[in-house]
Amino acid sequence: MRRLQTEEDEEEESTELAMPGETRARVLLPSKPGRKRRRAFKSKSHDRAHQISTMATAAAASLYSSVKPSITHVVFDMDGLLLDTEIFYSEVQEKILARFGKTFDWSLKPKLMGRKAIESAKIFVEEMGIADQLTPEGFLEEREGMLQHMFPDCKEMPGVKRLITHLHANGVPMAVATGSHKRHFALKTQNHGNIFAMMHHVVTGDDPEVKKGKPSPDCFLVAARRFETNVDPSNVLVFEDAPVGVAAAKNAGMYVVMVPDPKLDASYQKDADEVLTSLLDFNPSNWGLPPFQDAKN
């Protein structure tokens, strides 16, 4: 009778040992040692299940990371990204500061880039310690006299014509969202009409619908609304060079590729989805856009 009871115990134990999808094995063991063995096996079974779960999670993460975003529209910043104008701003700032016996601190540059003119002017005079001698409005007036003669000579940044021509040829709608006001936009682009003619529209810093400058998302959201179709922000890829521009794009719920000035500290680049040294390095295929047909990509 005791033997029958032992076999029943062992049968129960053999059921514990059988895992789903595996051949059931009957192991005859004394009652107490069997319980210890069963507990040990359960521990191994748990470890194995955990390992399988971990592998599945890793596989899912890998699959997710390989999925390209569905980019349908592109929005470009202008200054320092499409046109090399930032050099003019720095030159003029140096000249103005020289009157006060000061030199421009380049570490201030990231705070000025991409903002509306009056916002940058306020930051400039305060940070450089000349606010008691020069108002933001006075700074802009003095700066304007010099910049308007410089802007028509600005050059396109490397890779601009190649990328914009490629996207336009493949039917990808594009727009510009810049902090520059209309008058400066006209001066800067007067010798680059062929490039900007391929844009669906342009949103400038003095646009009445742009209530706040970058890092507010206003300019990018306005740009998205003005495309012919109702565009989801998550389908928009923004190109920026300024930290506040990157923040504005992310605040708008868009993806952003950053092409920063080489002197910009890496800490300002961490929020971008991709960072490039030049637009020549951009690979459209990484974003689900039509690939270049030339050898570079």
**Could you tell me if 227 and 221 are in contact, meaning their C-beta atoms sit under 8 angstroms apart?**
no
Catalytic residue among 79, 207, 218, 241: 79
- What residue spans of 67-181 are helical by DSSP H? 86-98, 109-112, 117-127, 136-150, 160-169
Annotated catalytic, 79?
yes
Q: How far apart are the first and last CA of the chain?
A: 80
Report the candidate in 82, 287, 254 with the shortest Cα–Cα distance to residue 165: 82
What b/e sequence results for 158-179 when a residue is b if at least 16 CB atoms lie within 10 Å of its CB, and e otherwise? ebbbbbbebbbeeebbbbbbbb
DSSP class of residue 156?
A: B
Catalytic residue among 9, 47, 77, 265: 77
Annotated catalytic, 273?
no
Q: What are phi and psi of 102, to 5 degrees?
A: -120, 160
Query: Which residues have a catalytic role annotated?
Result: 77, 79
